[in-house]
Amino acid sequence: MFNWGDRTVYKNGKKIIQEHYYSHLTAKIVLIIYGVCLVLIFFYSVIQLNLAIAYRKSKRRKKLPMPHFDIENAPKVTIQLPMYNELYVAERIIESASKLSYPLDKLHIQVLDDSTDETKDIIAKKVAEIAAKGINIKHIHRTDRTGYKAGALDAAMDQVEGEFIAIFDADFVPDENFLLRTMPYFGNENIGVVQTRWGHLNKKYSLLTELQAFGLNGHFAIEQEGRNSSGHFINFNGTAGIWRKKCIEDAGGWEHDTITEDLDLSYRAQMKGWKFQYLEEVESPAELPITMSALKSQQHRWMKGGAECFIKMRRRLLTSPGVKFSDRVHGFAHLFNSTVFVFILILSILSMVILHIKDSFSDLNYFIQFGAFFLSSSVFLAFYYWTSYRDKTGKFFSDLFHFIARFIQFLTVSMALSLSNAVAVIEGYLRIKSSFVRTPKFNVAQKDEFTGNKYDKKSLSIINLAEGFFMLAFGFTAVNRLIHGDLGMVPFHLMLAIGYGVVFFSTLNEVRTKR
């Protein structure tokens, strides 16, 4: 065992403690940082628990029927399909949008195309084909990608014909009744946005997609419905939702100083007094990333954008008039969500140092007992994900067994993604600007359909190498402690070692396959 703490010597028969002052001070600082991370993760889990309880309460209330909708006097709707080099899915989303059930004279489709490859020709051909059927569809191609997706949405605003704007990313396949099930809610003049739940076209593709679906179901059930049913702020998820054009304009329009323009505009609109309606029962299927590199690219944008929005919105959220205290608390927690990965990363690294402090400083051992906070956080999060678990069969013990296995798998991989996600969050807080890197789409549901994707850039980075190092470090620590019978953190370190191993070897395998 390592020991870098106190040394005991005897002089003239008297016991004297010669303390290593600086190492003891360092140990205390480490414990304080460790404790702060534990408390902040605990606070995050308490917020998630609160949302899970709010969600369960909302399900016990009598559901109101869908508002009446006069189809004969339906307002005009513009459907915007922003895309950039979507070779594999462009035709599918254009076709799906053209088949939405709605009066043709009240339907307007804009394909917002920033493509620089053959996708633009594919889109042009498909748009011409759809237009020949009498559908009002326009192909708007930009050669200057200023503002990326937000820039494309903003540039097209002066050509919008509808009072309402439905937005779909290229990997979505909306149900043909999407507009008929969402537009009725705009009968309430205070509603600025109607957001629907994401479904998963390729959930069964692999364990990776299964775990993504597990996590996203928590967000789209508990977080969105829990916040919305309690009157707290929610966000437009960038796609599968409808905006009232007046709401966008009143909130200041699309801005591109963050890479999560959807979250940014959502908060600006709600702080202006606009209400959002979330419809969990309306599912909009989409594609999940099927490679580790694609998933990390998506996560990087979400995590960094969340941090950017926190920096941008924190003061406004604190000072905006008419916002309830509980809405401010949940709003800050929402915008601060991505930062939890920074705390998880720090906690993970310090957990190895904590073991040496435990060996070296017996007088500080009582501080280490605060690690129970992490166990409490895990229990709260388990309740949160159990509430949103969608694979229940009605057989409680069987469902519980499968849930626990899935939850452990999810935590294992999520904690291993904390390194790349934490880097993204820190970039956001440091205002380090980067381009909008869209998630590669594959248009596959089964493994035998995958033939490669030219947009899925794969190469080893310093972060990948660090993930490999952490795999070895946590693995060594777990084995070392197991040998010495100190089992307290062995499960935690084993999960980290396995998680980082999965992330590292998945990336390595993708790079080798690409070559």
Q: What would the DSSP string read from start to end of 254-309?
A: ---SSS-HHHHHHHHHHHTT-EEEEEEEEEEEEPPP-SHHHHHHHHHHHHHHHHHH
Tell me what percent of the chain is helix, strand and coil, each rounded to the nearest 5: 60, 10, 30
Between the CA of residue 63 and those of 15, 120, 130, 509, what are the distances in Å?
74, 45, 38, 48
* 244: amino acid identity, one letter: R
Per DSSP, the chain holds a count of helices (H) and strands (E) of: 18, 9
In 64-109, which residue ranges form alpha helices assigned H by DSSP? 90-98
Q: By C-alpha distance, which of 448, 465, 475, 515 is closest to 290? A: 448
Catalytically active residues, by annotation: 114, 262
- Segment (H or E) for 508: helix 490-514
Q: Spell out the residues 6+ positions from residue 55 whose beta carbon is closer than 8 angstroms to its own.
A: 221, 222, 225, 226, 229, 387, 388
* 58: amino acid identity, one letter: S
Q: Rounded to 10 degrees, what is the CA torsion of 186, 187, 191, 192? A: 40
Cα diameter, the chain = 103
